[in-house]
Amino acid sequence: MTWRLGFASNDQYTFANTVLAVADGQLHITDPVYGPSSGATPGSYLVDGRVYGRNYGIVLLSTVWYVCLRTVSVVADVRVLLTGLWSLALVVVATRFGERFDRRRAGSLGGAAVAGSLFALSLLVVDPLSSWWLPQIALQLTTALATAAVAVVCYRLVTRLSNRRLGVATAVATVAATPIGFWATLPKRHSVTVMLVVCAMYTLFRSRDARTDGTALQFRALTYVWPALLAWVHAPHGFILLVAVGVVDLPTARTNGARELLTVGVAFGVALLPFFLTNTLISGNPVAPPRFLPDYSGDVLTADAELSSAVTDGGESGGGGLLGGLPLPVGGIVSRFVGSYLALLEPARLFRVFVHTGYVSSLRPAQDAAINLSVLASMPLLGALLAYPVLAARWLTARSDWTFSPRTWSPTRAMDAFTVVYVFLLLGLYFRSLPLHHMLTVRYLHPLYLLGVYWLVRLPAVRRVVAMEPRSLALSYGGTVLVALPAYLGAIAVGGLVLDESIQLYALAALGVAVGVGGWAVAAELRGRYTQAGAVALGVGAGAMTVYLLVAGLSLFPTTGEFLLPASRVVSEQIQYARLIGSSPPY
């Protein structure tokens, strides 16, 4: 729905340029089509006079899509094709939904009718798609599919952890009630990061849960593949995922025999090959990923060929010594983590990042737009985590035997440990830089929302609500969306709100919802009752975020007014009165 065509942040120019470069058979950018003509966009790096992009794991996969789309576009319109695929997916979902309730025929007919009319309507309002957007669409296809995979893996994981109904609720909540839906079609690393983290969680669980040792070992080896692939996309993220997996896996595995460790090591090594290969081709050093290379500042790809060759020579002589034995900046990494953990002790900063961001006066004047939400406002359902201190207190008082033997942990316990370790490392990696501009939903901590969903599912009170009150939950969710969506749009229109104001209005409302959810969760865990109230609280919490996802996607953030789905463009144009779009940004 909110698949918009546009460059929301400027390193996306780099990705699109890199896709074009890779499609031409080279890793470095020679002819930047997107962004400034110098090609100096964030995320581009200079090595030996050549300009490289980053996140090659995403870029290479997207290039496959790009080549496919480019071929198709010779004879057909890509927009119509993708709209059709989207409608087809709608039919399939409706059919499956019908099967679940033993109304297969009604489901498939209803789905086909809705999807068919949507597609027909789209054909009426469609305009031909410029091939200019194809690299961007290819990148978005990768991240959107990654998000779909997140929903599927969440469903499978929770179905195995508990039951199918909770699995469905989790999948829906992951996409519709967290910022994971927000970043689905924004071609940055976040969707793919979350996908690889949830895959690691799933295989880790399967390796503990497996009946035979053989299956356990297969899944265990697979668990180490994901960090390796993630390193290919974003090396620091891959590193912390590897540490989290290792810290939890090694003490809790069935055995740590030579055969097991060798298998795991081989799987990890093989999965790291693309990472090594790309790094070697770029920097000549297999363990120096693009992020540790010098930034490109825009003096090589200027129009003047002679000038650029002169600069190239300079770059080579200057860069050679640095890259010869480029050490990983170990000191910098350690001080980064230490700084982050020290920063966690600052109450004001904690409040800004987790509770309410608002206007941050410490940002630079060009970057201080109050368009960022706090963690809690990005996912009001997280308020329910307030119940964990209650559970912890009860657990501490009830427990008499203090033994620590990870070997006997249940699969679920191992998962809990993994989520805690991973979030601790994630905070270490990024907390020092927060609050920062252009975070929108504190995107640096993005995987936190996935783990937040997991922690919600682990709350007994939440499980009770989903098991006992599914109907009330669905009703309160649907009702919230139906009421709050026009209310929010109306407030923006009547109040003549600008972008910052609209977002901060939502942030305040979401904070209230989160407090409500938290209050319910604490009361429910203390008393063990209030499932009806819980259905209302969780429904409103999820619905609030869905409303924000829809309004942000269709009205607040479209930069060009172009959408992949023609119907979305029509809807978006109808809510232009929100005073937020229809006028180009003042560049």
Partner 1 sequence: MTRVGLLAFSVVVVVGAIAVGPFGVGTAETDTGDSADVTLESAPTDTLVLERGRFGSGRYHIDAPPAVVTVGDVTGTPTLRYTIDIPEAWLTLTSRYDLAGRSGRLRMGASPATVSPERVDQGQYDAVVAVWLRTGVRERSLAQRRVTVEPRQSVSPPDCWRAGRSSWPTSAVPCSGRCSGTDSGQRWRLPRSSGSA
CB of 101 to partner 1, least distance (A): 16
* Residue-wise burial string across 484-517, b where 16 or more C-beta atoms lie within 10 A, e elsewhere: bbeebbebbbeeebebebbbbebbebbbebbebb
Nearer to partner 1 (CB atom), residue 83 or residue 419: 83
* H or E segment to which residue 514 belongs: helix 499-527
Nearer to partner 1 (CB atom), residue 194 or residue 376: 376
Nearer to partner 1 (CB atom), residue 258 or residue 494: 494
**Concatenated DSSP letters for 251-267?**
HHSS---HHHHHHHHHH
CA nearest neighbour of 506 among 437, 445, 555 = 555
Judge whether 244 and 224 are in contact, CB under 8 Å: no
CB of 107 to partner 1, least distance (A): 9
Nearer to partner 1 (CB atom), residue 109 or residue 343: 109
Nearer to partner 1 (CB atom), residue 134 or residue 216: 134
**Concatenated DSSP letters for 441-496?**
TTGGGTHHHHHHHHHHHH-HHHHHHHHH-HHHHHHHHHHHHHHHHHHHHHHHHHHT
Q: How far apart are CA 282 and CA 280, in angstroms?
A: 5
CB of 131 to partner 1, least distance (A): 10
Nearer to partner 1 (CB atom), residue 76 or residue 322: 76
CB of 549 to partner 1, least distance (A): 19
CB atoms within 10 A of CB 200: 27
Nearer to partner 1 (CB atom), residue 495 or residue 528: 495
CB of 260 to partner 1, least distance (A): 45
CB atoms within 10 A of CB 31: 11
**Angle CA(129)–CA(135)–CA(138) in degrees, nearest 5?**
90
- In terms of DSSP H, where are the helices of 210-329? 213-233, 235-252, 258-283, 305-324
Interacting residues of 168 by C-beta distance below 8 A, sequence separation 6+? 155
β-strands 4-5, 562-563 pairing: antiparallel
CB of 439 to partner 1, least distance (A): 15
Tokens standing for 135? 């690299």
CB of 559 to partner 1, least distance (A): 13
CB of 504 to partner 1, least distance (A): 4
Nearer to partner 1 (CB atom), residue 87 or residue 285: 87
CB of 350 to partner 1, least distance (A): 18
DSSP 430: H
Q: How far apart are CA 217 and CA 259, in angstroms?
A: 10
Angstrom CA distances, 437 to 51, 171, 359, 363, 445, stand at: 26, 30, 10, 7, 14
DSSP 556: I
CB of 507 to partner 1, least distance (A): 8
CB of 579 to partner 1, least distance (A): 5
Nearer to partner 1 (CB atom), residue 66 or residue 219: 66
Chain contacts with partner 1 (rule: CB under 8 A) = 72-81, 83-85, 87-88, 91-92, 95, 104-105, 108, 112, 115-116, 119, 123, 126, 128, 358-359, 361, 365-366, 368-370, 495-501, 503-505, 507-508, 579-580, 582-586
Nearer to partner 1 (CB atom), residue 76 or residue 334: 76
Nearer to partner 1 (CB atom), residue 82 or residue 456: 82
CB of 70 to partner 1, least distance (A): 12
Residue/partner pairs of 328-337 with CB below 8 Å, 24 or more apart: 328/287, 328/288, 328/292, 329/292, 336/428, 336/429, 336/432, 337/428, 337/429
Strand, coil or helix: 563: strand
CB of 179 to partner 1, least distance (A): 19
Tokens standing for 103? 């109304």
Nearer to partner 1 (CB atom), residue 5 or residue 176: 5
Nearer to partner 1 (CB atom), residue 53 or residue 98: 98
Nearer to partner 1 (CB atom), residue 415 or residue 581: 581
Compute CA 547 distance to the chain's CA centroid, rounded to the nearest angstrom. 18
* Residue-wise burial string across 214-249, b where 16 or more C-beta atoms lie within 10 A, e elsewhere: eebbbbbbbbbbbbbbbbbbbbbbbbbbbebbbbbb
Strand, coil or helix: 47: strand
Q: How far apart are CA 148 and CA 171, in angstroms?
A: 9
CB of 120 to partner 1, least distance (A): 9
* Residue-wise burial string across 287-313, b where 16 or more C-beta atoms lie within 10 A, e elsewhere: bbbbebbeebebbbbeeeeeeeeebee
